[in-house]
Amino acid sequence: MSTEKRADLNLKIARLPIVDQCEGCQRIVEDAGAKVCGKYAEPAFHWEDGQICLMATHINIKKEAAVAKKAVNPLKASKRAAGKKK
């Protein structure tokens, strides 16, 4: 799909207002006096069920993923340590 066709299509899509989690994102734009997302038509969908919006500019997703990886299962850690002792 060409850029012109996509831009034309974007104009026809009704954009819903942002949600609380979007506050601070740089993709927020003003549209007819309402704050809407410049990327997604339905921002609430990208924050449903504890999800984090992948296009959010105010949240460092990689940093949060790294923090999540640091949580180590103690049982697996002890088995790993026992395996290295040989």
Question: Which ranges constitute the DSSP H helices of the chain?
Answer: 3-12, 61-69, 74-84
Rounded to a whole number of angstroms, the minimum distance from the CB of residue 40 to ligand SF4 is 5
CA-to-CA separations, 5 to 9, 42, 64, in angstroms, rounded? 6, 20, 36
Nearer to ligand SF4, 54 or 66 (CB): 54
Binding site for ligand SF4 (CB under 6 A): 18, 22, 25, 27-28, 37, 39-40, 43, 46, 53, 55-56
Nearer to ligand SF4, 40 or 49 (CB): 40
Residue 36 DSSP class:
E
